[in-house]
Amino acid sequence: MTKWFDSNYHYLVPEIGPETSFSLASDRLVRETEESVAAGFRTRPVIVGPVTLLALAKASDAALEGFSPLSRLEDLLPVYVDLLARLKSAGAEWVQLDEPALVSESLPTDAAELAAAAERALAVLGTPPIAPRSSSPRPTPRWAPPSRCSPPRPSRRSRWISCAATCPPRLRVSRTRCSSAA
């Protein structure tokens, strides 16, 4: 067991090697989603994303020296596609994939390598797995950043706090509000 990033929470470290086969170990999340939807609740399942799962894993004892579990991303993505399809059929309108590895400074993996892996995962998982094929342009995904940020809030230490932490990089910060950069 090791700490989940820099918190007091611990997790069992997965050991992944070239011989590891990926599959869903349980349908518990799907059953719980079906149950909550049947009870009239609007659900949003939250799961750890594939990049974080592999970035936090360690190489198995059978793996060769220098093996990176992140190299198995393409083998893991079909399992995520299957899970997302099952959650959709269970009634989940959308699923939140958390990828804290992308902003962590405590991992030995290079940030550029993690970003490239996230782009590969997004290419596979970014659209609904059961979406109808059409010639119309792709709609903006739900995860797209908003065009405007919420206004800054007063602070005790200063008159205004900057909203730079919540604004996408393409937005500029003014004294009273965030607006799109021209």
Task: Give me the tens of pLDDT residue by residue for the chain, a chain 182 residues long.
Answer: 777 777 778 888 889 999 999 999 999 999 999 999 999 999 899 999 999 999 999 988 888 888 999 999 999 999 999 999 999 999 998 899 999 999 888 888 888 999 999 999 999 988 654 444 444 454 544 444 444 444 444 444 443 344 444 444 444 344 444 444 44
Q: Which of 143, 139, 121, 122 is nearest to 131 (CA)?
A: 139
Whether 157 and 69 map to the same domain: the answer is: no
Number of domains in the chain: 2
Whether 119 and 152 map to the same domain: the answer is: no
Q: Which of 181, 154, 151 is nearest to 166 (CA)?
A: 151
Structural domain includes residue 34: yes
Helix (H) or strand (E) holding 85: helix 73-90
Structural domain includes residue 136: no
Range of the domain at 158: 145-182
Whether 103 and 15 map to the same domain: the answer is: yes
Decide if 137 contacts 91 (C-beta within 8 A): no
**Residue 59: CB partners within 8 Å, gap ≥ 6?**
15, 16, 17, 67, 68, 69
CA gap 90, 82 in Å, rounded: 12
Whether 63 and 115 map to the same domain: the answer is: yes
Decide if 181 contacts 172 (C-beta within 8 A): yes
DSSP state of 164: T
Residue type at position 127: T
